[in-house]
Structure 1
Amino acid sequence: MNINEKFNFNFPTQIRFGVGVIGELADYLKSNGIKNPLLVTDPLVRELNLFKKITSDLKRQNISVEVFSEVHKNPIKSDVLAGKECYQVTGRDAILGIGGGVALDVARAIALSINHHRDLFDYDDLIGGDKYVTEPIPHFVTIPTTAGTGSEVGRSAIISEDETKKKRILFAPSLMAKMVFADPRLTMDLPPFVTAATGMDALTHNMEAYLSKNWHPMCSGIALEGIRLIGESLQTATLQPDLPSRSRMLMASMMGAIAFQKGLGIVHSLAHPLSSLLDTHHGLANAINLPYGLEFNYEDNEDSFDQMGLVLGFNKGEGKKVLSYISELNVRLGLPIRLSDIGVKDGHIATLSALAIADFCHPNNPKPVSETDFERLYRAAL
């Protein structure tokens, strides 16, 4: 990848990729008649110089900016409703999601809510709510500042219930951004821990998508290339960041989000309850659980592990080395490697296991998973 070039491509939506493309945002908005966008972000990104520069550049070009950043680390329904009210009260005409997965999920859910007036969770895809997504959404642009979730190219938002923290999926093809500005320079200010955790999230997306039992050869190919890019880039992006490594990570993150239309699996079902119950960062939860989920899936899927091993630089037939590679990668990145390191106690395991078996990801796992399996894996990771 030549980091001095800028690229246009559509998959699944229009993406403007390259160092410096964020400088084209104002012209893009003006060419689409947008004068009063709502910028949706999170409290941390709002204070970064990169965000302040985006807002000042827009204002300098006579674009009126309103910022909404009152969101939780694991976003909840009331965050979305507050954003909807902000959009309406301040007379906005477009929504720009700027940040990582949290900001982009909330931005997408706000976009859904503007012209859809049922209860937000009536649109939950897991109960067939996508059939109610019938109206257009406001002009929606995504601008990632992390290389993890790939939410910028997604069509869904994961929002939790306020009280129970149960995760709901809002999904429809019409929720896709009209334009993605993917500028690797915007990820350069990420601290090492966030870079590592979000990078492991992207790796988990690609690996679980590749292993998913569902048939989607295009997604499988994308996932393998995403794994290769992360394997050659994540450690450098975390410990000695430069634009080439950050560029490859940003691309691999989007590839993971595209690939997981094929499905995810056991690792995400292990990780989601940690976010719901203990407010654990999603990428970190995936990172800790990934070695255990992969070990569970290794038997009967040796050929798939061999393919992942090849793109990670192992010899033919050495797929089992992927298991130790992931554990060692977490150590090299400075991430916690045990659930006990992030506050999980033995008394949490029964509740976590019950939440995991109810999760929506493991039905796509290459092997069936029981609640007993989840209990055993949590104890192994403890």
Structure 2
Amino acid sequence: MESYAVLRMPKTVNYGRDAFERVGEEAAERGKKALIVTDKVMKELGYVSEGRDYLTKAGVESFVYAGVASEPTDIYVAEALKKFHQTGCEVIISIGGGSCIDTAKSVAVLAKNGGNIGDYMGGKKLAHTAPIPHIAIPTTAGTGSEATDVTIITNTSNDVKMMIKQPAFLPEVAIVDPLLTLSSPKHVTAATGIDALSHAVEAYISRKAHPMTDMIALSAMKLIVTNIETAYESGENLEAREAMSLGAMQAGIAFSNASVCLVHGMSRPIGALFHVPHGYSNAMLLPAILEYSKGYAVDRLADLGRIFLDDEGDLTAEDAAELAVDSVKKLCLKLEIPNLSGWGINKQEFESVISKMAVDALASGSPANNPRVPEQDEIEKLYKVCYNYDFTSTSTVS
């Protein structure tokens, strides 16, 4: 660990059943007009109208941008920002998954600091002015974006998924209501759940981990590992949904402060070029990359293995780390996570851009946080392994 560490999280966290009802009061403390950034699914489920009712009761006028679809792009950010300025709003509220929250984060910063979202990539432009107050309301237990200072936006001019990390992107308020996750279908529960597990594991094995993030990441891993299958098989189980929501938020806090590693570095280019949702692309890569990293993070992965075992037992650290990797593979099988080939990505198209993806992955900076730091040729090899990865196999990655 470095000589000192920093822990950032939202100023206010409203967590638990019916926390959604707090949105009106939280918004009223910050302005009289709010822009809701969301998508069509959230409108169809009634979450947007419910939120607007709470806002109206609190004396807050609301407007809606529902143009977010799948992975967020600079186009969605520009459209939402335009609507924000046109309506004279003072507060931004995101309702939905990570795509909606990341879009809203970007609008909150740009509205006060100007420029295009791409200007902030790599710290070229810093947000010196406090952003518009942002209230983030997740409806999946996955990204943890409601508690991070990171936004992931695809630059449509060059197909690069930009990871932008600055304190200004951290939402001011998080409202985490597990009742909103009950509507998540099985495949979304699976993908977002493994995404959350990826966040927690990578925060724990990251070279930038510190005691505070370790504590939070361990709690997140335990909550997710012990509840994800129940949430997947019995989506109406509110206790499991509640645990997953808490675990996902904790994982978000952990990785926002300790950084993610190789999984995320390799995942973003897949999402940008092949439009694979972020949760799925992380899940497809996680087992193989844990195999690749295992020898450099034995003790840390052993802690994960013992969570799966739910018993200290007499396992050596090496055996517990091996158990962790095998257990993640089995979990992906149970949750019906496909490999890249199974997703339907054309092999020839995939192989033709492997070099670009490896370069983009390294440029993101995340691979440098991995316990085993790869060279470009190693990342290219890992992409090839992951394309037809067999979740039932014994260790195949070296």
Asked if Structure 1 and Structure 2 have the same fold, meaning a TM-score greater than 0.5 normalized by the shorter chain, the answer is: yes
CA RMSD after TM alignment: 1.8
Q: Tell me which residue corresponds to 1:5.
A: none
1-side partners of 2:258 and 2:38: how far apart?
Answer: 28
Q: Tell me which residue corresponds to 2:396.
A: none
Task: Provide Cα deviations, 1:56-99, integer angstroms capped at 9, x if missing partner.
Answer: 33335543221101124221112111111101112212100111
Q: Tell me which residue corresponds to 2:19.
A: 21
Q: Is the 8 A contact 2:20 2:175 kept in 1?
A: yes
- Alignment partner for residue 192 of structure 2, among 194, 198, 208? 198
Is 1:275 aligned to 2:271, yes or no? Answer: yes
- 1:43 is displaced (CA, Å) by 2.3
Q: Is the 8 A contact 2:143 2:248 kept in 1?
A: yes
Q: Is the 8 A contact 2:108 2:132 kept in 1?
A: yes
Q: Is the 8 A contact 1:147 1:250 kept in 2?
A: yes
Q: Is the 8 A contact 1:273 1:352 kept in 2?
A: no
Output the amino acid matched with 1:119.
Answer: N
Write out the 4+ residue segments of structure 1 that deviate beyond 3 Å after TM superposition: 59-62
- 1:37 is displaced (CA, Å) by 0.4
Output the amino acid matched with 1:281.
Answer: P
Structure 1 residues 236, 183: CA separation in 2 closer, same or farther (over 3 Å shift)?
A: same
Q: Tell me which residue corresponds to 2:233.
A: 239
2-side partners of 1:88 and 1:232: how far apart?
Answer: 45
Q: Tell me which residue corresponds to 1:345.
A: 346
- Alignment partner for residue 244 of structure 2, among 228, 245, 249? 249
TM-score with structure 2 setting the length:
0.88
Q: Tell me which residue corresponds to 2:207.
A: 213
Q: Tell me which residue corresponds to 1:375.
A: 380
What secondary structure is seen at the aligned counterpart in 2 of 1:66? strand
Aligned residues: 368
TM-score with structure 1 setting the length:
0.91
Gaps of 5+ in 2: 1-7, 389-398
Output the amino acid matched with 1:292.
Answer: A
Task: Provide Cα deviations, 1:305-337, integer angstroms capped at 9, x if missing partner.
Answer: 11111122254322201111111111211222x
- 1:268 is displaced (CA, Å) by 1.3
Task: Provide Cα deviations, 1:37-66, integer angstroms capped at 9, x if missing partner.
Answer: 000012222221233322233335543221
Q: Is the 8 A contact 2:142 2:195 kept in 1?
A: yes
2-side partners of 1:138 and 1:268: how far apart?
Answer: 28
2-side partners of 1:313 and 1:41: how far apart?
Answer: 39
Is 1:320 aligned to 2:317, yes or no? Answer: no
1-side partners of 2:52 and 2:202: how far apart?
Answer: 37
What secondary structure is seen at the aligned counterpart in 1 of 2:309? coil
2-side partners of 1:12 and 1:110: how far apart?
Answer: 17
Output the amino acid matched with 1:249.
Answer: M
1-side partners of 2:83 and 2:54: how far apart?
Answer: 22
Structure 1 residues 118, 225: CA separation in 2 closer, same or farther (over 3 Å shift)?
A: same
Bigger Cα displacement from structure 2, 59-68 vs 235-244: 59-68
Output the amino acid matched with 1:29.
Answer: A
Q: Tell me which residue corresponds to 1:228.
A: 222
What secondary structure is seen at the aligned counterpart in 2 of 1:349? helix
- Alignment partner for residue 260 of structure 2, among 261, 264, 270? 264
Q: Is the 8 A contact 1:15 1:182 kept in 2?
A: yes
- Alignment partner for residue 356 of structure 2, among 349, 354, 357? 354
Percent identity among equivalent residues?
28
Task: Provide Cα deviations, 1:324-359, integer angstroms capped at 9, x if missing partner.
Answer: 1111111211222x2111122332134134323432
Bigger Cα displacement from structure 2, 368-377 vs 230-239: 368-377
Output the amino acid matched with 1:355.
Answer: M
